[in-house]
Chain A
Amino acid sequence: MTRRVVLVDDHDLFLAGVKAELGDAVEVVGQAGSVAEAVPLITELDPDVVLLDVHLPDGSGDAIINAVAPERPGVKFLALSVSDAAEDVIAVIRAGARGYVTKTISGPELAAAIERVATGDAVFSPRLAGFVLDTFRAGEQVGGDAELDQLTPREREVLQLIARGYMYKEIAARLHLSVKTVESHVSNVLRKLQLSTRHELARWATQHRLV
């Protein structure tokens, strides 16, 4: 099934490039270059996946997610950015994006990432895995929800392997798990990242000028 995709990016050249690279893998039903343009467009088109630039002229990607998500809970967001600033990336993920890939990603890889996000899985680039490991670093725990505030050793292991450049299939083979299990570990990490009120996360966010 071809996924219906909306592209949100203010660089026309980049939009054209992405469209060309994706080819027939997905159906690009619309595109927008700003937060103000994107919110009504996405609400109207109700696509499967929105490819979202982290930085837009009139705001950041998380503003779109926050505005659209209550109206269209079925729309999945995948952040796509040249920005490597950890705080921007984590902000979009915390707002509800299902993953983050860098703009240097190849066409087929991007198509695969869109498919994975559309089916409800999470897409972590090595860089995002590094950011997440950084936010959940071992440290003293102060109150909060213990389950949400800590990564399990297995989740940590999976994230580490993603950061080291392993694909889900390779991770599964290495840890003697099924690919589905690896995917569910990653989705769990994403959920924790979005819901955790962990002391460490708050401190990290402050350090990185998030709050």
Chain B
Amino acid sequence: MSLRTFAPSSDERVIAGVCAGIAQTLGVDATLVRLVFALLALAGGAGILLYLGLWAWAEGKRVWVAALLAFFAGCVLLGALGLSGRSVAGIALIAGGLALAWRQGGSFRPDAPLSYGGIALAAVGAVVLLSGETTSSKLLAPGAVAGALLLIGGPWVWRLAVERDAERTGRIRSEERSDVAARVHDSVLQTLALIQRHANEPRRVASLARRQERELRGWLYADHPLGDETASLVASLEAAAGDVEELHGVRVELASAGDCPVDGAVSAVVLAAREAMVNAAKFAGVEEIDVYVEVTEDAVGVFVRDRGAGFDRTAVPPDRRGIAESIEGRMERAGGRATIVSSPGEGTEVELRLPRGKS
């Protein structure tokens, strides 16, 4: 219930109904309000002035008369409480300054202009108040001045902070936008240009489109950013698969359950898996290779499978170092193991397994 809804009560009035009106608005007993006004009236007549002011305000015509009367009522009250004339004048000037600032719509809302007149008036009041020598002014002055400063300067500081925030948000947004633009330009537009140039080579076009799709998808849906292949095992394998697709014109289907960060041993797994994909792309004679990566608490497993020609391990000449060195040797040095299952006509599956430490 705001005082704006306050109206004098004509039913219960004694003088003009102001006390009864306030009592109704505040929901308290009218006698209590009258008692307060009586006490205030004893304080140098402040109650009478306030009563007149409120009445003028409630009648709705004399707003500034009401303000002035209330103002004087405050001064009289302060004087009656034992404050020196100088202190009362200082406080009155500060209050006047604040009122002026308020009237000019200034300073109390973050978006309003500063009221210099109000500030000047309040400053004069502060000087008057601070230069006083009585005990009461010494006690009151710091609080009053600080309060006034807060009321006048606070909204302005607040507004500055809000503006800075808005500016920062805007900057972040425009940075994000240019980031998107750069990526779209770098990868998608490049790819489209390449596709136009290689329109007569279906395999090349397919692998370009596929690689672009993989990149864009990784960026849109996955948690790892485009181009950051070192972030995780799955991201690294995706990058390797993309390379193999582009270089050898095959499709690599990558499925995964779990993921882990890449350390030295894990990167050996990625390299071995890449080698296995390259072998499948080169020798199996198939369009599609399936890769499945599984990360559990205690091991990393990667399976590279094709449904292609297959081969007989015993028939591979020992000087062909691809499998022995790049896959098996690499896995062993990393502390893991590679198992290759293949037979002519049945396709090949390379299983890479690396135990995970508790690190």
| A joins B in a complex | yes
Using a CB–CB distance below 8 Å, which chain A residues touch chain B? Answer: 82-85, 104, 125-127, 129-131, 133-134, 137-138, 160, 163-166
Q: Is B217 an interface residue (CB 8 A)?
A: yes
CA distance A84 to B253 in the complex (A): 12
Given contacts A104-B251, A126-B255, A130-B256, contact A160 B294 (CB under 8 A): yes
A-contact bits for B191-225, CB 8 A (1 contact / 0 none): 00000000000000000001001000100011000
Which chain B residues (77-134) contact chain A, with CB distance < 8 Å? Answer: none
By a CB distance below 8 angstroms, the chain B residues around A127 are 253-255
Instruction: Answer whether A84 and B257 are a contact pair too, CB < 8 Å, given A138-B297, A165-B292, A165-B305.
Output: no
Count of B residues near A, CB < 8 Å?
23
Cβ contacts A to B, 29 pairs, < 8 Å: A83-B217, A83-B221, A84-B222, A85-B221, A104-B251, A126-B253, A126-B255, A126-B292, A127-B255, A130-B255, A130-B256, A130-B257, A133-B257, A134-B256, A137-B257, A137-B258, A138-B296, A138-B297, A163-B257, A163-B292, A163-B294, A164-B290, A164-B292, A164-B303, A165-B253, A165-B289, A165-B290, A165-B303, A165-B305
The answer for the CA separation of A165 and B251 in the assembled complex, in Å, is 13
Contact of B349 with A by CB under 8 A: yes
Chain A residues contacting B221 (CB-CB under 8 Å) are 83-85
Measured in the bound complex, the distance between the Cα atoms of B307 and A163 in whole Å is 14
* Docked complex Cα distance between A166 and B347 (Å): 11
- With A138-B296, A165-B291 already in contact, 17 other A-B pairs whose C-beta atoms are closer than 8 Å: A83-B221, A84-B221, A85-B221, A125-B255, A126-B253, A126-B290, A127-B255, A130-B256, A134-B258, A137-B257, A137-B258, A163-B303, A164-B349, A165-B255, A165-B292, A165-B303, A165-B307
Chain A residue contacts of B257, Cβ below 8 A:
130-131, 133-134, 137, 163
Q: Which of A126, A137, A138, A164 is packed against the most chain B CB atoms within 10 Å?
A: A164
Tell me the complex Cα distance, A160–B351, Å: 13
Report Cα–Cα, A160/B299, bound state, in Å: 15
Judge whether B258 and A164 touch: CB under 8 Å.
no
B255 with A129: CB separation less than 8 A: yes
Query: A126–B305 Cα gap in the complex (Å)?
Result: 12
